[in-house]
């Protein structure tokens, strides 16, 4: 063993490992602060495996063992088994349709006895590997639509399956694969179009359809008027303007109402509208009336619950102030006011106990982690490693951003975890594997050209 030890450590990016350990440690502290009540015997409960923090500690130890194993493996294994593991991942997701256990409204869990496993969560790793593998293949020309299509299918099919199980939050994570694809040469038009669509969506939610149709028309006329010289010279500009104008109008006038009425469930629509702070104008009044009272009440309850979560979350964070109330002194945390505080809303305990300083520091630690991964990505000599690193960075980024945005009320409630901080074996395990495969690949970056 003693002779091998230096080999494990060889080439390992220790900064990344320390950042990882720091975050897990902060996570343990936070879970502890959520659960601890004065008078509890700390040592006993840490060893008792009854409290969440002691379980999380156990998961962490398991993760250390796993990480060691990953570092001991030959990095070629990941490339070799990428497609196979992807297949297994998808099969596991499919398996949940048969043996899935329903937790919090989504049937995406496989009970393992000692813990519940969420394959969609794990599949992030496999999808990253598979995508990296595909993009690194010699014959792949990513400029071609066919390659783009294959990549998209690889990236988004687990998401599609996940949506079918009612687990929307995790499915959204798969959108983060757009970023590595962009790095690998996906035309920026996709991203620009995506951002524009998002902007259009928000605008269309905020203003009434009529106002927008008039505004678009006025904008189009003004654009043509101010660019009349160019337009005279270039017919295509005129056509493009008309096409964009037509698309926008259709999108706002037909697409949005249709989507909200027929595609989204009413509660989803309400959730989205409540985020931008307006009432759902497409709420079908008749539908509510024809709904049985129990159904209506259940939906109303769910909706209220969402609003309650966000309100409590904002109260907890907001009451922290600049310096916070001090570790274990948060009244909101100690009073169990924030639901799901040990998992999706763990950020609130940071906000309340450590205040603005704590939250900002945490955000900066995450930024450091992500930027470090990007730095690592850029120094890779193989496409596989680079794509994989970018996948990891964007998955982290997506998780952190969405989770924190939810807790501070910038995004609708989407149930995804804060990486490495939130309580939960599945989540911690996934991020550990994700990160340590990268560490291993990085450690072996000099070895071969993959």
Partner 1 sequence: MLVFAGMFFIIILQLMNLQLFSSKYKIMADDQGKFRKVIYPDRGIVYDRKRRPILQNATIYDLMIIPNKLKGVDTFSLCKILQIDTAQFNKKVVEVIIKNGRSRSSVFDGLLSDEKMAMLNEAMYKFAPGFYLQERPVRSYPYDAGGNILGYLSEVDTNFLKNHKNEGYQTGDYAGKTGMERTYEKVLMGQRGIEYWKRDNKNRLTEKLENGRFDTAAIAGQNMHTSLDIELQMLGEKLMENKLGSIVAINPKTGGIICMVSSPTFKPKFLTGADRKRHIQELLLNPALPLLNRSVGATYSPGSTFKTLQALIGLHEEVITTNTQFSCSGAFYGCGGGHPMRCLDFGTFNLRSAIRVSDNTYFANVMQKVITNPKYPNQDSSLAVWARYMNAFGLGHKLGVDVPSEKRGLIPTPAYYDKIYGKGKWNFCNFRSVSIGQGEVDVTPMQVANEMAYIANKGQYITPHLVDSIEGGDKFNILAQYRQQHSAIDIPDSIFEAVHDGMQGVVDGGTGMAAKVAGINICGKTGTVENYFRGIKQPNHAFFCGFAPRENPQIAIMCVVENSGRFGGTYAAPIVGLLIEKYLKDSITEKPRLDRIEQLSNLNLIPSRIYAALRTQDSLRHVKDSAYLAAKGFIKAMKDTLGMDDEDEKDALDKMKADKETAKKELPARDSSTTKPKVNIEGILPGDKKKPETKDSVKS
The residue ranges that bind partner 1 (CB under 8 A) are 37-38, 179, 314-322, 329, 331-332, 334-337, 351-352, 355-356, 359-360, 363-364, 366-367, 370-371, 374, 393, 397, 400-401, 404-405, 408-410
Nearer to partner 1, 165 or 348 (CB): 348
Helix crossing, 14-35 with 52-72: angle to 10°? 160
- How many CB atoms are located within 10 Å of the residue 110 CB? 19
- Residue by residue, DSSP assigns 158-182 as HHHHHHHTT-HHHHHHGGGGHHHHH
Within the chain, what is the greatest distance between any pair of CA atoms? 81
Tell the smallest beta-carbon distance from residue 225 to partner 1 (Å).
33
Nearer to partner 1, 208 or 331 (CB): 331
DSSP collapsed to 3 states, 186-217: CCHHHHHHHHHHHHHHHHHHHCCHHHHHHHHH
Tell the smallest beta-carbon distance from residue 24 to partner 1 (Å).
20
CA-to-CA distance for 324 and 345, rounded, in angstroms?
17
Spatial CA neighbour of 120 closest among 70, 67, 167? 167
Tell the smallest beta-carbon distance from residue 96 to partner 1 (Å).
31
Q: Give the H or E element holding residue 442.
A: helix 425-443
Tell the smallest beta-carbon distance from residue 408 to partner 1 (Å).
5
Q: Where are the alpha helices (DSSP H) in 36-175?
A: 42-48, 52-72, 76-99, 119-136, 145-164, 168-173
Tell the smallest beta-carbon distance from residue 387 to partner 1 (Å).
17
Tell the smallest beta-carbon distance from residue 370 to partner 1 (Å).
5
Q: Where are the beta strands (DSSP E) in 208-295?
A: none
Nearer to partner 1, 300 or 401 (CB): 401
Nearer to partner 1, 261 or 314 (CB): 314
Nearer to partner 1, 12 or 375 (CB): 375
On the 0-12 / 13-18 / 19+ scale of CB atoms within 10 A, 224 is middle
Q: Rounded to an integer, what is the distance from CA 137 to the centroid of its chain? A: 27
Spatial CA neighbour of 253 closest among 198, 196, 215, 199? 215
CA-to-CA distance for 437 and 125, rounded, in angstroms?
9
Tell the smallest beta-carbon distance from residue 425 to partner 1 (Å).
26
Nearer to partner 1, 9 or 321 (CB): 321
Do residues 313 and 338 lie in contact, with contact meaning Cβ atoms separated by under 8 Å?
yes
On the 0-12 / 13-18 / 19+ scale of CB atoms within 10 A, 261 is middle
Tell the smallest beta-carbon distance from residue 81 to partner 1 (Å).
30
Nearer to partner 1, 2 or 37 (CB): 37
- 70-90 as b/e, with b when 16 or more CB fall inside 10 Å? bbeeebeebbeebeebbebbb
Tell the smallest beta-carbon distance from residue 169 to partner 1 (Å).
18
- 7-42 as b/e, with b when 16 or more CB fall inside 10 Å? eeeeeebeebbebbeebbebbbbbbbbbbbeeeeee
Tell the smallest beta-carbon distance from residue 14 to partner 1 (Å).
22
Nearer to partner 1, 11 or 409 (CB): 409
Nearer to partner 1, 38 or 235 (CB): 38
Spatial CA neighbour of 278 closest among 218, 211, 196, 344? 211
Nearer to partner 1, 210 or 297 (CB): 297
Contacts of 363 (CB under 8 A, 6+ apart): 400, 404
Tell the smallest beta-carbon distance from residue 181 to partner 1 (Å).
14
């Amino acid at each position: 063993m003693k002779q091998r030890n230096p080999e494990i450590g060889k080439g390992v990016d220790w900064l990344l490992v320390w950042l990882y350990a720091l975050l897990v440690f902060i996570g343990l502290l936070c879970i502890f602060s959520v659960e601890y009540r004065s008078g509890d015997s700390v040592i006993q409960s840490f060893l008792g495996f009854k409290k969440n923090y002691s379980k999380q500690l156990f998961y962490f130890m398991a993760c250390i063992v796993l990480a060691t194993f990953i570092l001991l493996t030959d990095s070629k294994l990941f490339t070799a088994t990428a497609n196979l593991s992807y297949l297994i991942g998808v099969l596991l997701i499919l398996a949940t349709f048969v043996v899935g256990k329903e937790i919090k409204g989504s049937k995406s869990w496989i009970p393992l006895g000692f813990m519940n496993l969420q394959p969609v969560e794990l599949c992030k790793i496999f999808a990253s590997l598979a995508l990296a593998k595909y993009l690194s293949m010699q014959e792949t020309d990513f400029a071609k639509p066919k390659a783009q299509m294959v990549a998209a299918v690889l990236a988004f099919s687990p998401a599609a399956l996940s949506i079918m199980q009612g687990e929307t939050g995790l499915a959204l994570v798969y959108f983060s694969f757009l970023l590595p694809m962009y790095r690998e040469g996906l035309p920026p038009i996709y991203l620009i179009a995506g951002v524009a669509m998002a902007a259009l969506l928000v605008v269309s939610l905020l203003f009434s359809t009529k106002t927008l149709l008039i505004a678009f028309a006025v904008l189009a006329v003004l654009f043509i008027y101010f660019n009349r010289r160019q337009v005279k010279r270039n017919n295509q500009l005129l056509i493009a303007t008309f096409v964009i104008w037509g698309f926008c109008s259709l999108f706002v006038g037909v697409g949005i109402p249709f989507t909200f009425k027929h595609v989204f469930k009413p509660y989803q629509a309400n959730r989205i509208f409540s985020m931008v702070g307006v009432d759902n104008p497409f709420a079908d009044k008749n539908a509510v009336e024809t709904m049985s009272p129990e159904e209506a009440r259940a939906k109303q309850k769910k909706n209220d619950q969402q609003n309650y979560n966000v309100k409590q979350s904002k109260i907890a964070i907001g009451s922290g102030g600049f310096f916070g109330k001090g570790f274990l002194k948060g009244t909101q945390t100690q009073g169990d006011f924030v639901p799901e505080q040990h998992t999706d809303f763990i950020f609130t305990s940071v906000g309340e106990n450590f205040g603005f300083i704590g939250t900002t520091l945490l955000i900066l630690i995450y930024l450091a982690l992500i930027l470090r991964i990007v730095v690592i990505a850029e120094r890779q000599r193989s496409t596989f490693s680079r794509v994989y690193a970018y996948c990891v960075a964007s998955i982290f980024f997506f998780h952190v951003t969405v989770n924190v945005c939810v807790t501070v009320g910038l995004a609708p409630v989407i149930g995804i975890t804060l990486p490495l901080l939130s309580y939960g074996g599945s989540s911690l395990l996934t991020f550990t594997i994700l990160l340590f495969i990268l560490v291993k690949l990085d450690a072996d970056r000099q070895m071969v050209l993959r």
